[in-house]
């Protein structure tokens, strides 16, 4: 069986990665499996353990790092986030195209370890629009919003390292572009 693709969706917090992903992740033609990350962040209302994330405490996360269980990990605004390696390998071996939705430091680790990964960076139409989206979502206190915005400015500088750049003006349009990119690489 042909090994599945590794697709990495990245870009600043609040740009709309989660919104875009919902538009294409269940398209049967794309044969995708979403990789559920491990995090030490608190669960938000509406999130489900094992679906959005595996929510763990810091000692458990640090143990997973020591045991080499993570394909990549990063500390993002005070919390750890990481991709369990075993699951990614198992799904790819089964022929599934595995989709990661991760921040840019982690994506750089994936680029080094898996140069064939299909890396896609989502950019906002403008930084003002990005700020509106993070605030509009209302999930983080002001101090965290500020930290995420200043981080976003630095993250945008890494855009040229990605194989594809997609602007999220409209989530449905961005999802169609990404679907097309994936389909082309499945041929």
Ligand X SMILES: Nc1ncnc2c1ncn2[C@@H]1O[C@H](COP(=O)(O)OP(=O)(O)O)[C@@H](O)[C@H]1O
Known binding-site residues for ATP equal 11-18
Residues within window 43-102 making contact with ligand GDP, judged by CB under 6 A: 72-74, 76, 81-83, 101-102
**How many residues does this entry show for the chain?**
187
Q: Which of 103, 102, 82, 111 is nearest to 147 (CA)?
A: 103
Residues within window 2-31 making contact with ligand GDP, judged by CB under 6 A: 13-14, 17-18
Residues within window 3-42 making contact with ligand X, judged by CB under 6 A: 13-19
For residues 5 and 70, which CB has a smaller minimum distance to ligand GDP in the complex?
70
Q: Are strands 37-39 and 79-84 parallel, antiparallel or unpaired?
A: antiparallel
For residues 17 and 92, which CB has a smaller minimum distance to ligand X in the complex?
17
Q: Which of 178, 147, 17 is nearest to 79 (CA)?
A: 147
Question: Rounded to the nearest 10 degrees, how much is the dihedral formed by the CA atoms of 126, 131, 132, 133?
Answer: 90
What is the smallest separation between the CB atom of 185 and ligand GDP, expressed in angstroms? 21
Q: Which of 3, 41, 151, 163 binds ligand GDP (CB under 6 A)?
A: 41
Residues within window 99-158 making contact with ligand GDP, judged by CB under 6 A: 101-103, 106
SS3 call for 182 = helix
Please tell me the distance from the alpha carbon of residue 171 to that of residue 20, in angstroms, as a whole number: 5
Side-chain-side CA neighbours of residue 161 (13 Å) = 18
Q: Which of 8, 37, 124, 166 binds ligand GDP (CB under 6 A)?
A: 37
In the complex, which residues of this chain contact ligand X (CB under 6 A)? 13-19, 133, 136-137, 168-171
């Amino acid at each position: 069986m042909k090994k599945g693709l590794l697709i990495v969706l990245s870009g600043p917090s609040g740009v709309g990665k989660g919104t875009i992903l919902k538009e294409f992740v269940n398209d049967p033609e794309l044969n995708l499996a979403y990789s559920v990350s491990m995090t030490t962040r608190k669960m938000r209302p509406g999130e489900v353990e094992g679906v959005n994330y595996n929510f763990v405490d810091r000692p458990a996360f640090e143990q997973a790092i020591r045991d080499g269980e993570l394909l990549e990990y990063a500390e993002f605004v005070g919390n750890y986030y990481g991709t369990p390696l075993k699951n990614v390998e198992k799904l790819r071996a089964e022929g599934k195209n595995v989709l990661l939705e991760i921040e840019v430091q982690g994506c750089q680790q994936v680029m080094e370890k898996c140069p064939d990964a299909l890396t896609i960076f989502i950019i906002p139409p403008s930084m003002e629009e990005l700020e509106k989206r993070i605030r509009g979502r209302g999930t983080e206190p002001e101090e965290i919003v500020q930290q995420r915005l200043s981080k976003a400015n630095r993250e945008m500088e890494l855009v040229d390292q990605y194989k594809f750049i997609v602007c999220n003006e409209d989530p449905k349009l961005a999802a169609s572009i990404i679907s097309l990119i994936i389909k082309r690489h499945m041929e």
